[in-house]
Amino acid sequence: MQNIISVSHLQKSFKRHQVLKDVSFNIPKGSIFALLGSNGAGKTTTVRILSTLSKPGGGKATICGYDVVRQGDNVRGVISLTGQFAAVDEVLTGRENLNIIGQLKRLPNVKAMADQWLSNFQLEGAANRQVSTYSGGMRRRLDIAMSLMGSPQVIFLDEPTTGLDPQNRIAMWDMVKGLASSGTTVFLTTQYLEEAEYLADNIAILHEGKIIAEGTPNKLKAIMPQRGAQLNFQNEADAARAMKLLSDNGINVDSITQNLPSLEDVFLTLIGEKTKQSEGESHE
């Protein structure tokens, strides 16, 4: 599958503090990629570099073949960014917010496009209300709708469900899935591990400026050596006999379910191991 984003040995420092030390990954077109990390790990810094808001101190990154440093205008023409806080004008109505974005991008048929996105994000009933009357979930949906005006090939969602209640979070998950199924590549940063596990095709874990693990959710879970299997029997008697001597009694097992660790287990274990290694190196 064609990679739409390629990042190689990315680095970034602020004064004497090196936030990104060596970050590399590739993202296939039309997939959902989740970047996980603790607060201060460098997730937002990575997004800012890829969206041309900040320049890297080293390394290289391309989006749709365009270099994010040398070809920033081209990059901005194929991406959209939704930050951690909804960037909407509360004085204007939902429709007016969308219309302004369409006009700034010089899009054709702005009115029809605004109507379509209002419908897609279930905001038709609130289209002519001031955004100040919207709930947090509605503002976030409008914010993403504004980002999608012009159909960008890549959308960056920087912790998009922060502050949302469970119902709106699930609705946002469905929305993100829909974006990917329509061909949009989604780059997601999040602190919610269940969110990354549900949404992402691939996950990268960023810790102390480096990618310490990357892969599908199941591949990351397979890193953990301690796993087991759950055996389901037809009745308690069979289960009791099996505990005594399963193989000799020839008991039929209805199913075997592999017990993989949770993504949270993997994340905390990897972070803990890397932290211990760093502490050990600093004391040598």
Per-residue pLDDT of 106-141, as tens digits, reads 889 999 999 988 998 889 999 999 999 999 889 888
pLDDT at 278 over 60: no
Domain ranges of the chain: 3-216, 228-259
Q: Is the pTM of this model over 0.85?
A: no
Q: Is-contact 147 176, C-beta < 8 A?
A: no
Q: What is the pLDDT of residue 151?
A: 83
- Cα separations in angstroms, 154 against 27, 76, 162, 165, 196: 10, 10, 21, 26, 18
In the structure encoding, which two tokens stand for residue 247, read together?
């193989």
Tell me phi and psi for residue 73, to 5 degrees: -60, -40
Alpha helices (runs of H) in 200-255, residue ranges in sequence order? 217-221, 236-249
pLDDT in tens, 217-254: 888 887 765 555 566 667 777 777 776 776 676 666 56
3-class secondary structure, 29: coil
> Whole-number mean pLDDT of the chain?
85
pLDDT at 213 over 80: yes
In the structure encoding, which two tokens stand for residue 52, read together?
């041309």
pLDDT in tens, 141-191: 898 889 888 889 999 998 888 777 888 888 888 888 988 998 999 999 988
Q: What is the pLDDT of residue 226?
A: 52
DSSP 201: S
- Cα separations in angstroms, 151 against 104, 105, 146, 148: 14, 11, 10, 5
* CATH node for 3-216: 3.40.50.300
